Amino acid sequence: MKILKMLPLAMFMFLMFSCKSSVQSDAEKVAALQCKAKKMMEKVLSGNLDVKAESEELQKEAMDLAAEMQRKYTSKEDLEAFQKAYQSASSKCE
């Protein structure tokens, strides 16, 4: 009986941690994509102009990811959580 009373709390905690990891995971995806774009730009600036296919693939990936994030994060609270996670993740780009 005691376990049944704890079940809603356990489910709530699971959902809270799941959401946080989802936000973190999404922020890491966006940060990784921006890191790829930065590295590709460095190639172009160093004179490597043979990145057209890579550029097109990156553009499609960015558009798909942007659309997904716009659908997923619509509330002010969600956007703030995403921005915070993104700032942390984007600082890891080398």
Q: How far from 28 is each of 5, 14, 41, 43, 53, CA to CA, in Å? A: 36, 21, 20, 23, 24
> Residue 62's domain spans which residues?
22-90
- Look at residue 8 and give its three-state secondary structure: helix
Please report whether residue 34 resides in a domain. yes
Whether 7 is in a domain gets the answer no
The pLDDT of residue 4:
40
> In the prediction, which pLDDT does 3 show?
42
Secondary structure letter of residue 52 according to DSSP: H
In-domain check, residue 63: yes
Q: What is the pLDDT of residue 64?
A: 93
Number of domains forming the structure of the chain: 1
What does the DSSP 8-state code read for residue 75? S
Residue 77 covered by a domain: yes
Q: What is the pTM of this model?
A: 0.71
The answer to whether position 8 is within a domain reads no
State residue 14's pLDDT score: 42
Rounded CA separation 46/6 (Å): 60
Report yes or no on 10 lying in a domain: no
pLDDT < 70 positions in the chain: 1-20
Please check whether residue 1 lies inside any domain of the structure. no
**Would you give the DSSP letter of residue 92?**
T
Query: Residue 86 in contact with residue 32, Cβ under 8 Å?
Result: no
Assigned domain for 60 exists = yes
Query: Distance (Å, rounded) from C-alpha 67 to C-alpha 62?
Result: 9
